[in-house]
Structure 1
Amino acid sequence: MFKRYRNTLIILAVILLAVLPLAFVKGEFGGADGEAEELIAVVDPTYKPWFSSLLSPPGETESMLFALQAALGAGFIGYVIGLFRGKATRKQP
Structure 2
Amino acid sequence: MKKTVLLLSLVIALVVFPFFINHGGDYAGADGIAEAAIQQLAPDYKPWFSSFFEPASSEIESLLFTLQGSIGSAVIFYILGYYRGKRAAHANHR
TM-score normalized by the length of structure 2: 0.66
Match of 1:24 in 2: 21
User: For 1:45 and 1:60, how far apart are their aligned partners in 2?
Assistant: 29
Q: For residues 6-56 of structure 1, what are the alpha-carbon distances to aligned partners after superposition, in whole Å with 9 as ceiling and x for unaligned?
A: 334322211111211321222111111101110111011111222111111
Residue identity (%)? 39
More divergent stretch after superposition (52-61 vs 38-47) = 52-61
Q: 1:11 to 1:55 in 2, by over 3 A?
A: same
TM-score normalized by the length of structure 1: 0.66
User: For 2:9 and 2:61, how far apart are their aligned partners in 1?
Assistant: 30
Structure 1 gap ranges (5+): none
Q: Give RMSD over aligned pairs.
A: 2.9
Q: For residues 34-92 of structure 1, what are the alpha-carbon distances to aligned partners after superposition, in whole Å with 9 as ceiling and x for unaligned?
A: 011101110111112221111111321221122223334555666646x849x4xx96x
2:34 is paired with a residue whose SS is helix
Figure out how many residues of one structure are paired with residues of the other and give that number. 86
